[in-house]
Amino acid sequence: MADIPAFTPVHLLTGFLGSGKTTLLKRLLADPALADTAVMINEFGAVGLDHHLVERIDDTMVLLQSGCVCCTVRGELAEALRDLHSKRERGLVPPFTRVVIESTGLADPFPVLSTLKSDPVLRHHFRAGSVVTTVDAVNGLAQLDTYVESNRQAAIADRIVVTKADLCPGNAALVRLLSRLAELNPDAVRHIAAADGPGADALFGDDTAQRAARLQSASGFYCDAPAGLVTADGTPHQAAISSFVITVDTPVDWTGFGVWLTMLLNRHGERVLRVKGMLDIAGEDRPVAVHGVQHLVHPPVHMDAWPAGERSSRIVFIVDGLDPNLLKRSFNAFALAGKAADSPQPEAAAPVRNAQSP
């Protein structure tokens, strides 16, 4: 019997219409690595489960040969997750240790993730896991040029799976797509889909520590240069999605930073697609990694050491239509423990409710 975690991670599989998400899901459902997984999909028929079926638990839930529990979502996602948890508690389904949710092609991924925090029952049993986004190698560049949703799906991804690479007209087009994705989301792990990979563990493995480690590159940090999103012909993108970095050498006050980030995400969370960084916290010897997607912030992680012996705070933002200069000024006002004499000094702030300790 698998050990059920205190908080079961919920991973999201998303991707634009026609990006190969269902094809990837079909292959993954036959992977024995999904034996400890519950997968929530839109429709049984679209995935074609008949030849994988072992047992029908009820009209919305089946058990597959791989050991995976597969169910459809009818109505509210929160209700479906509560029902899944209840069946696990009563022994009606195998004791799964993670959940994978397939989102619709035009959906903003955030409402799915926010359900875990907003529901009074689910937040005590589930936590947000990784976001996996599929991108079509043939049509991906055109979709990124045209649709805001496509950019948002790629920008919040922890892992990006490029599909249909074998159909891509020439290697140059694939290279351009990969370069565009790297600019949009520098630290996402990128996979090229093949008949035998990537596997379930590569996409949905628990990577709390690895998520922090990916903030570092051999030279110290990803995304050192701000990037403005443009279309394939070089014109500014209508989505106004851009990335920028806040770098400071002064120690950061953890309480002030918590107040600042909470206020920012409460006001503009839907436009802060991703925030990741390493902080030099006042009174801490080791760097503290922070990571958030829109309104959701993962618990901070203490890293082993500073990269390349450099001790400074670096925070990467991927935002939709926010002014980087305004964010930098507000960060300086709230979060810096040792401010210059001419900088405004905020009053001592009370700890934010539910704020995580570094």
Question: Torsions phi, psi of 282, nearest 5?
Answer: -55, 125
- pLDDT confidence of residue 314: 85
Confidence grade of residue 178 (pLDDT, cut at 50, 70, 90) = very high
- pLDDT confidence of residue 260: 93
**pLDDT for 225-281, tens place per residue?**
444 555 555 565 555 677 788 888 889 999 999 999 999 988 888 788 878 888 999
**pLDDT for 285-311, tens place per residue?**
888 888 887 777 878 888 877 776 678
The percentage of residues in the chain with a pLDDT greater than 70, rounded to a whole number, is: 72
Q: What structural domains does the chain harbor?
A: 8-205 (3.40.50.300), 236-335 (3.30.1220.10)
Strand partners, 338: none
The model's pTM? 0.69
- pLDDT confidence of residue 239: 57
Q: Are 191 and 159 in contact (CB under 8 A)?
A: yes
Q: What is the mean pLDDT of the chain?
A: 76
What is the C-alpha radius of gyration for the chain, rounded to an integer number of angstroms?
21
Residue 148's nearest CA partner among 14, 11, 16 is 16
- pLDDT confidence of residue 120: 85
Q: What is the DSSP letter of 54?
A: E
Euclidean distance between CA atoms 141 and 349, whole angstroms: 45
Lowest mean pLDDT: which of 7-11, 61-65, 104-108, 137-141? 104-108
- pLDDT confidence of residue 237: 54
Tokens of 140: 């991906």
**pLDDT for 126-165, tens place per residue?**
988 888 999 999 889 988 888 878 888 888 888 999 999 9
**pLDDT for 7-22, tens place per residue?**
898 888 888 878 888 8
Residue 51 has pLDDT above 60, yes or no: no
Residue 348 has pLDDT above 50, yes or no: no
Of 73 and 52, which is predicted with more confidence? 73
Lowest mean pLDDT: which of 33-47, 182-196, 273-287? 33-47
Length of the chain equals 358
Q: What kind and span of H or E run contains 228?
A: strand 227-228
Lowest mean pLDDT: which of 9-13, 86-90, 340-344? 340-344
Euclidean distance between CA atoms 341 and 288, whole angstroms: 26
Question: Torsions phi, psi of 150, nearest 5?
Answer: -60, -40
**pLDDT for 309-339, tens place per residue?**
678 888 888 888 888 889 999 999 988 855 5
